[in-house]
Amino acid sequence: MAEMQDLFSLADAIGAKLIARREKVAVAEATAGGLVSAALLSVAGASTFYLGGAVIYTSVARDALLGKPAAPAVSMPPHEERALILARDLREKLGATWGLGESGIAGPTGKTPGRTVVALAGPLELTRIIETGSPERRANMFAFAAAALRLLAEALE
């Protein structure tokens, strides 16, 4: 599948940089469904930079896996705040250099299908809104995973 190969290519470059910098990453994904973690784990030597990840798809999972409910949005719209909280919380829990979070709606239904927010917490904090304009669930999942990996790659440049 071409989409997965694209994710593998992004992950290879990220893995090499994380290894060279001796940095670690933790991943909290929602609508990407584990694709970010799968791509990073495909890299030889992943155990030197990948501390762990979770698919935080519901508030029940968030509360159980992160141990606390997400705080309400303060300065950003709720989806941006949620993605950043996921990134921060898993980074802190696992002691990673970087926390990568993602939260949105893959589709085909929902208020805003094809929309997610990717967030990065660490030495640098970044968020990006990703809108595909498509209700195609699987295509959106790959687009969201690629966007999350690109955000991490950008921070590592």
CATH of the domain at 102: 3.90.950.20
CA distance 50 to 7: 16
Bridge partners of residue 108, in order along the sequence: none
Q: Is the pLDDT of residue 79 over 80?
A: no
Compute CA 79 distance to the chain's CA centroid, rounded to the nearest angstrom: 13
What's the whole-number mean pLDDT along residues 8-18? 98
CA distance 149 to 54: 15
Domain region containing 148: 2-156
pLDDT score for 77: 46
pLDDT score for 67: 79
Least confident of 2-6, 27-31, 99-103: 2-6
What's the whole-number mean pLDDT along residues 88-110? 95
74 band by pLDDT with thresholds 50, 70 and 90? very low
Least confident of 12-26, 35-49, 69-83, 134-148: 69-83
pLDDT score for 43: 98
pLDDT score for 133: 94
Q: Between vectors from CA 140 to CA 2 and to CA 116, what angle results, nearest 5°?
A: 135
Q: How many domains does the chain have?
A: 1
CA atoms within a 13 Å half-sphere pointing along the CA-CB vector of 128: 18
